Amino acid sequence: MMAGWRHAFKQLLFCAALLFFSCASAQDKNAAIASAHPLATAAGHEVLARGGNAFDAAVAVAAALAVVEPWASGLGGGGFLLLHRARDGHQVFVDARETAPGRARPELYLDRDGKPVRGATTQGGTAAGIPGTPAGLAHVAGRYGTLPLADSLAPAIRLARDGFTVDERYTRIAGLRERYLRDAGEAGRIFLDGNRVPQAGWVLRQPELAATLGRLGKEGRNGFYAGPVARALVESVNKAGGVWQQEDLANYRVVEREPLRFQYRGATITAAPLPSAGGIALMQCLFMLEPLGRIDPRAPAQAHFLAEALRRAFHDRARYLGDRDFVDVPVAGLTSRAYAARLAASIRSDAATRSDTMGPEVPSSAGTSTTHLSVIDAAGNRVGATLTINLLFGSGVVGRGTGVLLNNEMDDFTLEAEVPNSFRLRGGVANAVAPGKRPLSSMTPTFVEDGRGVLVLGAPGGSRIVSQVLLGVLDYLHAPGVDLAVIAEAPRYHHQWWPDRVEIEPEGFSGEWRAALEAKGHRLQVVKRKWGNMQLVFKSRQTGAAQAASDPRGSELGWN
C-alpha cells in the first residue's frame, strides 16, 4: 500500500515536472522537440533547461524512448542521427546502424535447399545485429554535447528505475505481441504483467535497464560493449541460437558520414546517405519531379508522377544499394540530375509503368516499430534521429540481467532476390549478409532549409518512411505558410516498385482520386491501418521561433 502511495506521489511529482517542462518549452519559444512520447519529449526539455544543447537533448530523448517505447527502439538497436551545429554550420550523419556479427553468413539463414529458414532473421539470436545506439549516444554526447553523458541519460534512468505508467498504446502493442513476448521468456517477464498483457495504468519498472543506462553514463561506450553487459548479451544471444562473439561488440564503431546535400526548387535538403537507402531515393524522386514545377503531392495527376518516381527509385535500391564499406555503389551516377532526367523520360503521363517490365532482374547470389525524434535549440543546433530495433519488440531476446531488448535488424539484409523481407522489400547482392556489414535501411532523417526557415523531419514505417518523408518535404514546399500539423496529418500513399501497387491509407482518398489513378493503370491497395509517426520541428529564419508537431497517428492508433 505504502509503495503504491509512494509511487502515486512520484507520478504526481513527475506530472508536475512534465507541466513545468511543457511550460518551459512554451517559454523558450526558440527551441522545439518532437518525439513519439510525451515523457521522452519532457526528458529532452529537462536537459535543455539544465543548459544542454540540442545534441544533449537528443541523447536524452533517445534514451527515454528506449525506456517508454520499448517495442520501437532502444539500447539493443541502432539508428541514424543527422546533426547540424549552428556555430560553424557543420553537418554530419552519425551512423549507429547495427552490424552483422563476425560469424554471420547467408547460410545461417538458408536451409540446405537454399530456402530461407523461417524466423531466422526476425526472431531469436540469429536475428540480432550488433547494437549501435549506445555507441551512437555516447559519441554524440562526447563530441557534440555540452553536458556529461550521465546527465543526459539521467531522465531515462529515472524512468526505468522508478517506472512509468503504461498507456493504451502500450497495452495494444504488447497485445499484438503477447505470445511472442511470453515465448521469449525474459522479455515476457519484463514487458508483460505476470505473463499477460498489462492494463493501462500498470507501472512498468525496468531496474536492470536503469543499471545498464547507468553504466553507459559512467563508463561511456565501454559500459555496454565490454564488461558484464557485453558478456550477458553474448551469452543470451547465443543461448537463443545466435553466433555472437565478444569481439563483435568490442569492435563496434560509429561512423561519421557526409550527408547527401542538394538543392530542390530553392530549398537546401540534407538527407541520409548509405547505409540508408532513404536519402538517395528522396534525391532521385525530387530530381525526377523537378521539371514539373511546384507540386501538390495530393493532386491525383501529380500523385501518379510521385508513384512512378518512387517505383523507379525503389527499383534502383533493389538493384544497386548496399553498405558502401563493402560494395561499390554508383552513388554519384544514381543521384545525378542527368540520370533522373533519363528515368523521368520513361514516365508516361497517361499510364502507369508495370514493374515487371522494368528489368533487368535484380542480381542475386544464390507492423512495425522504430521511432523518430526532431530537436532544435535556441542557438539553431539541430538533430533528426531515427532509431530502431526493427519489428515490434525486435528479436525478443533480452540480455539476461541487462534489461536490453535486442533488435532483429538482420531482416533488413537481402537473402535472395526473390525473397522479400518483412517490409516486402527485395534487394540484391549489394545487400547480402556479410560479417561486419550494415544492412540497408529506409530510415531517412532529413533537413529542409529555405527562405522561411529550417524543417527537421523523419518517421518510422519501414519502406514507407521514404514516401512519408518525400510527401512531407513536398507538402512543406508546396504550402505558402508553415503548418506542421497539416503536414503530419496529411493522408499517405506509397509505392516501392515491388509489389507493384500504390498503397493508400484507409482515409483521405476520395473515389475520384482513386479512379484517376486506376484510370492510368495503377493497382491501388487500401491498407488496413494508417502508417507512420512523423515528428517535425521548424525554426523560423526571421524570428527564431521554433515549433513542433507530432503525427496524430502515434496516439490515435497505438501503432506506427
List residues with catalytic annotation.
370
What residues between 531 and 560 interact with ligand DON by CB under 6 A? 560
Smallest gap, in angstroms, from Cβ of residue 380 to ligand DON?
Answer: 28
**Site mask, ligand DON, residues 354-373, x = CB under 6 A?**
--------------xxx---
Q: Per CB under 6 A, does 408 bind ligand DON?
A: no
Q: Is residue 270 part of the contact set for ligand DON (CB under 6 A)?
A: no
Candidates 36-44, 426-434, 439-447, 545-553: pick the segment binding ligand DON (CB under 6 A).
Answer: 439-447
Restricting to residues 277-336, name those near ligand DON by CB under 6 A: none
Q: How far is the CB of 388 from ligand DON (least distance, A)?
A: 5
In the complex with ligand DON, which residue's Cβ is closer, 304 or 319? 319
Alpha helices (runs of H) in 431-524, residue ranges in sequence order: 464-478, 484-489, 511-519
| CA-to-CA dists, residue 311 to 306, 361, 481, 520, angstroms | 8, 15, 30, 15
- Give the rounded distance of the alpha carbon of 219 from its chain centre: 27
Nearest residue to 380 (alpha-carbon basis) of 541, 247, 492: 541
Matching residue, cell 548509405: 274
CB of 22 to ligand DON, least distance (A): 27
Residue 254 C-alpha cell reads as 560509429
Q: Is 442 in the site for ligand DON (CB under 6 A)?
A: yes
Q: Choose the binding region for ligand DON from 86-94, 292-300, 376-384, 435-443 (rule: CB under 6 A).
A: 435-443
Min CB(441)–ligand DON separation in Å: 3
Question: What's the min distance (Å) between Cβ of 313 and ligand DON?
Answer: 14
Are 169 and 558 a contacting pair, CB within 8 Å?
yes
- Examine residue 300 and say whether the peptide bond preceding it is cis (omega within 30 degrees of 0): no
Please state, in angstroms and rounded to a whole number, the distance separating the CA atoms of residues 443 and 420: 18
Which is nearer to ligand DON, 343 or 443 (by Cβ)?
443
Q: For residue 169, how many C-alpha atoms fall within 13 Å in the half-sphere facing its CB?
A: 21
Instruction: Tell me the closest approach of the beta carbon of residue 370 to ligand DON, in angstroms.
Output: 3
- Residue with smaller CB distance to ligand DON, 298 or 372: 372
Mark 456-495 with x for binding to ligand DON (rule: CB under 6 A) and - for no binding.
Answer: ----xxx--x------------------------------
Query: What are the residues whose beta carbons fall under 8 Å from the beta carbon of 439, sequence distance 6 or more?
Result: 97, 98, 100, 129, 275, 323, 409, 410, 411, 412, 413, 431, 433
Using the CB atoms, write b or e for 332-349: b if 16+ within 10 Å: eebbeeebbeebbeebee
390 binds ligand DON (CB under 6 A): yes
Binding residues with ligand DON: total (CB under 6 A)? 15
Amino acid at position 475, single letter: D
240 binds ligand DON (CB under 6 A): no
Contact residues for ligand DON, defined by CB under 6 A: 368-370, 388, 390, 409, 412, 441-443, 460-462, 465, 560
